[in-house]
Amino acid sequence: MSLPSFGPGAVRASASPMDRSMRCVAAAVAALVLAASLALRPAMARQGSESSADTPKPAAQATPEGKDSESGSTQTRVHKHGESLTAQAGDPTAPLVQLQLTDFHAASVRNAGGSYNLLNFQPVLPIPKSDVIPVEQVVRLTVPVLSTPHPDHARGLGDISFFDLFVPSAREWGIWGGGFTMVLPTAADDQLGSGKYQLGPAFTVVYYRKKNWQIGAVVQNPVSVAGDGDRPGVSQLQIQPIINYLRGDWYFGAGDFNIIWDWKRSEATVPLAFQVGRITKIGQQTFNFSAEVAWTAVSPDDAVIPRWGVRLGVVWMLPEGRHASH
């Protein structure tokens, strides 16, 4: 499952056009960040394997749940309750290479005529720990393509966002991570983005002690730090609930959406959703297919935002080593 919001937020009229050169620079930065992540990943993996090979390993006694007999720390990257691919599909800290493609379509939009569509492409890349960064990372890039309703219809690239999560070792109860989120003003039209560079903290926690359940949340708060001076500032608390019931290769949950609190306007946007998905093998490849129905329960009075809609998603999952079973 992915981590998109229910639409990119309320689409409101903007004050002035976005400078095209700023969008090009921001897009180039996003491409460089992703390229650097892809380039560093194998190097870090080799460095980690070489350092572990050079370090003599003392004899350890076998203990329950993969714990080290001396320190009691968990040896596996993910707690045993999260080892299956079904569980990792809903875990934002899971060390899986994923290529996600989701499409959200809303036929009914508040304060506007016509429909709304959001196509998201999200590559997810885990980065092994190394001597430089002693914890694992999960990096996600989100590239949105939007189509907004009338009267201010626009279609094209939206604001690209970057999410970097640093994940310590798993605990008995589950796993957590912290990092940052960054939004770049790459939108092709003012209606498709904020016109602001945004930066803010990110945190996630996933609880696994309840059998067959996955409970947690992803919390982000991007804040505008630069950009078009004629556009309003941005500061939004975004909370994505994680509530999934796991049943074999199937999962049923609250859906992929963000509850948003706008600090600038003191207004909330609260969508509700239900999602069903299945992990499926096609040949030697593993895919995560999902479908979701969403409805906006609470939103600002003047917001141009979907009333309800349907999201379809497919994720190409590339598990590594011990995480390949499901």
Q: What is the pLDDT of residues 64-81, one digit of tens each?
A: 444 443 433 333 344 444
pLDDT score, position 123: 97
Spatial separation of the C-alpha atoms in residues 203 and 206, rounded to whole Å: 11
List all residues 6 or more positions away from 132 whose beta carbon is below 8 Å from its beta carbon: 44
Q: Phi and psi for 24 in degrees, rounded to 5?
A: -65, -45
Confidence band, pLDDT 50/70/90 cuts, at residue 37 = low
pLDDT score, position 18: 46
List all residues 6 or more positions away from 318 whose beta carbon is below 8 Å from its beta carbon: 96, 97, 98, 99, 286
pLDDT score, position 34: 55
- The percentage of the chain sitting over the pLDDT mark of 90, rounded to a whole number, equals 60
pLDDT score, position 152: 77
pLDDT score, position 24: 54
CB 173 within 8 A of CB 144: no
Asked if the model's pLDDT at residue 17 lies above 80, the reply is no
pLDDT (tens digit per residue) in 110-119 = 988 889 999 9
Whether pTM exceeds 0.85: no
pLDDT score, position 81: 42
Asked if the model's pLDDT at residue 271 lies above 80, the reply is yes
Asked if the model's pLDDT at residue 32 lies above 90, the reply is no
**Of 37 and 108, more confident:** 108
pLDDT score, position 14: 40
Q: What is the b/e burial string over 202-238, where b = at least 16 CB atoms within 10 angstroms of the residue's CB?
A: bebbbbbeeeeebbbbbbbbbbbeebbeebeebebbb
Token pair, residue 156, equals 């094209």
Per-residue pLDDT averaged across 203-216, rounded? 93
pLDDT score, position 28: 52
Token pair, residue 202, equals 């990110």
pLDDT score, position 251: 96
pLDDT (tens digit per residue) in 302-320 = 888 999 999 999 999 987 6
pLDDT (tens digit per residue) in 140-198 = 999 999 999 877 789 999 999 999 999 998 888 899 999 999 999 999 999 899 999 99
Report whether the peptide linkage leading into residue 306 is cis, meaning its omega lies within 30 degrees of zero.
Answer: no
Asked if the model's pLDDT at residue 204 lies above 50, the reply is yes
pLDDT score, position 249: 95
pLDDT score, position 171: 85
Asked if the model's pLDDT at residue 9 lies above 80, the reply is no
Per-residue pLDDT averaged across 274-287, rounded? 96
CB 177 within 8 A of CB 217: no
pLDDT score, position 151: 74
**In whole numbers, what is the pLDDT of the chain averaged over residues?**
81
CB 78 within 8 A of CB 91: yes
